[in-house]
Chains A and B, each alone.
Chain A
């Protein structure tokens, strides 16, 4: 890491810490959602980016986490922090099981992406139908804003929590790029058959990485449920969250440490610009679809012209400066 990058990181870190003390509450929540996107994006990136296993259905892990912690808390009276840990374990388990099924059957590329989508759909329909999730009504978490309940009155704390999650995920990604496990994943991404020929247990590595990714996603699910004190089948298992994770990572740069964070910053920026545009031009009153249209176009442009995402712009510049 060059000194220039190190200085940039220190400045970025300091800015993120000071940020909530300088802006109104609304912008604190925007920042929180940005770090949250970066976190679940990184969870996707671990398997979808580094290991190259593109998934269209990571919401299956996100929703598993959200529902596990909510059910344990609401129905069984568990402490939320404890049920957060249980949610991660459950996410890891679901990740492990789906990976064992899909990779044992030898699914790759588009077929893996589509089967994850189908799993998310199965979970969504189940959550809609069975009793212990209260079906389509969704589940409400009783508001009781105390830190030991993983609920906070001041929006600064969810912001710092999301920031901490994002830092942890960056650390995980950084460890991946520096470990033999990460090297094996990249080998699998680049050429699975060659990786196998080199003696890598491709199946085991892919199961491991999806287990890790599942646990991380589930942690994001619990965080989201605790922030909004509500979860329903569409929020938890709908395609929107799967696409959000994929988008921030693809736009920022799949398989890079800072890709999901850069992507989250870019997409949050677009969101705020369209929100501003909607305030100026009344015809654009419906903000959400407009930003998503911009995201969709960005996704196509990135895949077509900039396969390594916005990150590669920085990398190119850095190389030129070096």
Chain B
């Protein structure tokens, strides 16, 4: 039953799904690396972005890929304002406090979605949904291949932004040495807000790439939040390379878990990895020491 071809197909599918996890995790790890806060609202904000993609499609007839620029910019603005208006004010002091604040954000977001959008499962119908690319042994859905490539391109673009632009350099400076950055004249609070905005913009991009093959419900946020944290913890909090490797590993784990353990029990792999990494290697695969 489990011939190599079958497993290879599972691995490929997992890698494709992992591409989007990379994008989600890069946003989370950026926020952690720069602000040193754990953004529990990450999943819920992804869910809101997915609803934005859904409504752009439903009300304006916009294809999810076409709505990428709108949703990315929109998500950045939401993230920037959320930081400036709420999270930034309380992000100092005990680290549990900011975790509780972002839990509050996620409770409001999840239940707001339930109140205004209803509890139904919403999907986007795209003409290319059923198209398949045949790759030797594996049949890969076209939409997933597009998403995979697009998310890698976006991650590379973000990498270039961080490496080449002044803002990117300022973000890295703040992540490394907050006080020093302040001393050389960087507006640290503004960099915090921009970093949070970029983290949420990554979610906007992920939402656009997810919607052609996935669905959204008000509970989607909770479904993604553990995946995102596991990816980041696996790779090492704050590490970009770690987030990338972690995303692919989690994608493959999920895919193979589903293959060998079935739909229900297969989900256990992600939570178990999370627990085991925290217990035995809290710095993750690529993290600096905590």
Which residues from chain A sit less than 8 Å from chain B, CB to CB?
A: 54, 56, 101-102, 104-107, 109-111, 113-115, 117-119, 121-122, 125-126, 128-129, 135-136, 239, 243, 246, 250, 286, 288-290, 292-293, 295-297, 299-300, 303-304, 307
A118-B104 contact in complex given A54-B99, A110-B38, A300-B86, C-beta closer than 8 Å: no
Q: What residues of B have a CB within 8 angstroms of the CB of A286 in the complex?
A: 114-115
Q: What residues of B have a CB within 8 angstroms of the CB of A101 in the complex?
A: 279
Contact A105 B104 (CB under 8 A): no
Contact A125 B275 (CB under 8 A): no
Contact B104 A300 (CB under 8 A): yes
Contact A125 B112 (CB under 8 A): no
Q: Offer 26 A-B interface pairs, CB within 8 angstroms, sorted by A.
A: A56-B103, A105-B278, A105-B282, A106-B282, A107-B278, A109-B95, A109-B99, A114-B38, A115-B275, A115-B278, A115-B279, A118-B271, A118-B275, A122-B268, A126-B265, A128-B265, A286-B115, A288-B114, A289-B112, A292-B107, A292-B111, A295-B107, A299-B101, A299-B104, A300-B104, A303-B101
Contact A304 B101 (CB under 8 A): yes
Contact B271 A125 (CB under 8 A): yes
Q: What residues of A have a CB within 8 angstroms of the CB of B107 in the complex?
A: 243, 292-293, 295-296, 299
16 more A-B contacts (CB under 8 A) besides A128-B265, A295-B107, A307-B97? A54-B99, A56-B103, A105-B278, A109-B95, A110-B95, A115-B278, A115-B279, A118-B271, A118-B275, A129-B268, A135-B264, A246-B103, A292-B107, A300-B100, A300-B104, A303-B90
Q: What residues of A have a CB within 8 angstroms of the CB of B97 in the complex?
A: 303, 307
Contacts across chains A and B counted by CB atoms under 8 Å: 122
Q: What residues of A have a CB within 8 angstroms of the CB of B196 in the complex?
A: none
Q: Give, as a whole number of angstroms, the nearest-CB distance from A298 to chain B.
A: 8
Q: What residues of B have a CB within 8 angstroms of the CB of A292 in the complex?
A: 107, 110-111
Which residues of B (241-272) have their CB < 8 Å from a CB of A? 262, 264-265, 267-268, 271-272
A54-B115 contact in complex given A296-B105, A303-B101, C-beta closer than 8 Å: no
A128 to B262, CA, bound (A): 12
Which residues from chain B sit less than 8 Å from chain A, CB to CB?
A: 38, 40, 86, 89-90, 94-97, 99-101, 103-108, 110-112, 114-115, 222, 226, 229-230, 262, 264-265, 267-268, 271-272, 274-275, 278-280, 282
Q: What residues of B have a CB within 8 angstroms of the CB of A135 in the complex?
A: 264
Q: What residues of A have a CB within 8 angstroms of the CB of B90 in the complex?
A: 300, 303-304
A250 to B97, CA, bound (A): 11
A288 to B118, CA, bound (A): 12
8 closest pairs, A vs B, by CB?
A: A296-B107, A289-B111, A300-B104, A296-B108, A129-B265, A299-B104, A292-B111, A289-B114
Q: What residues of A have a CB within 8 angstroms of the CB of B275 in the complex?
A: 115, 118-119, 122
Contact B100 A303 (CB under 8 A): yes
A107 to B277, CA, bound (A): 11
A113-B111 contact in complex given A122-B271, A304-B89, C-beta closer than 8 Å: no
A113-B99 contact in complex given A128-B264, A293-B107, A296-B107, C-beta closer than 8 Å: yes
Contact B101 A126 (CB under 8 A): no
Q: What residues of A have a CB within 8 angstroms of the CB of B95 in the complex?
A: 109-110
Name the residue on A nearest B218 (C-beta).
Answer: A289
Contact B114 A136 (CB under 8 A): no
Name the residue on B nearest A295 (C-beta).
Answer: B107
Contact A111 B226 (CB under 8 A): no
Contact B103 A105 (CB under 8 A): no
